[in-house]
Amino acid sequence: MTQGQPKIVIIGGGTGLPVLLRGLKQYPVDITAIVTVADDGGSSGRIRNEMDIPSPGDIRNVLAALSDVEPLIEEMFQHRFSSSKELSGHSLGNLIIAAMTSITGNFMHAIREMSKVLNVHGKVLPAANHSVILHAEMEDGSIVSGESKIPYSGKKIKRVFLTPPDIQPLTETIQAIRKADIIIIGPGSLYTSILPNLLVPKIGEEVCKAKAKKVYICNLMTQAGETLDFTASDHVKAIYDHLNCHMIDTILVNSEEIPLEIQEKYSEELAKPVHFDVSALYDLGLEVVHGEIVCLDNDVIRHDTQEVAKILYSLLINETKRGS
């Protein structure tokens, strides 16, 4: 990585972030990924509870996406055991990160060492260096605790928040946000992958204050239990409401039709394509960038990693030219 490369900070988690990073690492950019550690389901949740360390799952997926190792090594790192009772459901990568945390005594040190082993392009930083819990206050006033439980409450989310309230971000995270040429938010589940990062005290504040252009990659589909019937502007307003600041400059939206037969499969999950209410986005003062950014491998709707990376790189180059 050279000193002269433009600096890109990406904030997110879940399945969306690794998809995006696989495309971006092909470009001459200095990548810092800030990753949520609020996951409490599956292998990650078990490790988190037993060892009292931040959840490793989203970090593991990002390390794998940015790695430059033989495919078999990456496959081994991502391997999930399905046989013995003790190991069943655990991912080898999660266990390695947990072991490295035990050896080094520090979750961030473990990630640094794993980054060397996997020859990772860029920096992977957890949103917090210790365990956090995500809670949701529902519109009826009830509280649901635990990232994995929130989408299944059957109620509409009013707001999400983290405990403990005094979570400290890493100094490196703050420095990366301040030095960024461009900050990317998303893609990912709005309430359980994006907001848990921005709600870490100081991270949200620094993003609001940052001079870099902020680009929000809007989700392609709504999510039952999180964003049922949300338009693109609803996603943006939810971020603004949580942070009490209007900090997004640009939103990337999809202009490609999603085939009806695939939409029908998703309708069983009460998911449908996000309606891009462009006039409402303009009213929010946003620059709207349209792109054919859908990938439909195996009838699964994902962002097209190559297309999104190309658009983001062109936005980044325009920014760095403007700033030079």
- What structural domains does the chain harbor? 7-38+167-323 (3.40.50.10680), 40-126 (no CATH)
Residue 59 CA to its chain's centroid (Å): 10
Sign of CA dihedral 299, 64, 132, 245: negative
**CA-based Rg of the chain, rounded to a whole angstrom?**
19
pLDDT for residue 52 = 85
Q: Is 35 helix (H, G, I), strand (E, B) or coil?
A: strand
> How many CB atoms within 10 Å of residue 243?
18
Pairing mode, strands 133-138 and 143-145: antiparallel
Predicted pLDDT at 50:
84
So what's the pLDDT on residue 324?
63
- Write the CA distances from 170 to 110, 205, 304, integer angstroms: 14, 14, 31
- Give the pLDDT confidence score for residue 49 in this predicted structure: 81
Distances (CA, A) of 131 to 44, 49, 115, 198: 11, 9, 21, 16
pLDDT attached to residue 1: 41
Bond into 187 cis (ω within 30): yes
Predicted local distance difference test score (pLDDT) of residue 14: 87
Instruction: State pLDDT tens for residues 76-126.
Output: 888 888 876 777 778 899 999 999 999 999 999 999 999 999 999 999 999
pLDDT at 321: 79
- Residues 22 and 10: beta-carbon distance below 8 Å: no
Q: With DSSP H G I counted as helix, E B as strand and the rest as coil, what are the percentages for the chain, rounded to 5?
A: 40, 20, 40
Distances 313 to 6, 121, 144, 249 between C-alpha atoms, Å: 10, 16, 39, 16
Is the sign of the CA dihedral 238, 243, 245, 246 positive or negative? negative
Residue 3 is predicted with a pLDDT of 60
Per-residue pLDDT tens digits of the chain, which is 324 residues long: 446 899 999 999 888 899 999 999 999 999 999 999 988 877 888 888 888 888 898 999 999 999 999 889 889 888 888 876 777 778 899 999 999 999 999 999 999 999 999 999 999 999 998 889 999 999 999 999 999 999 998 899 999 999 998 899 999 999 999 999 999 999 999 999 999 999 998 999 999 999 999 999 999 999 999 999 999 999 999 999 999 999 999 999 999 999 999 999 999 989 999 999 999 999 999 999 999 999 998 889 999 999 999 999 999 998 887 766
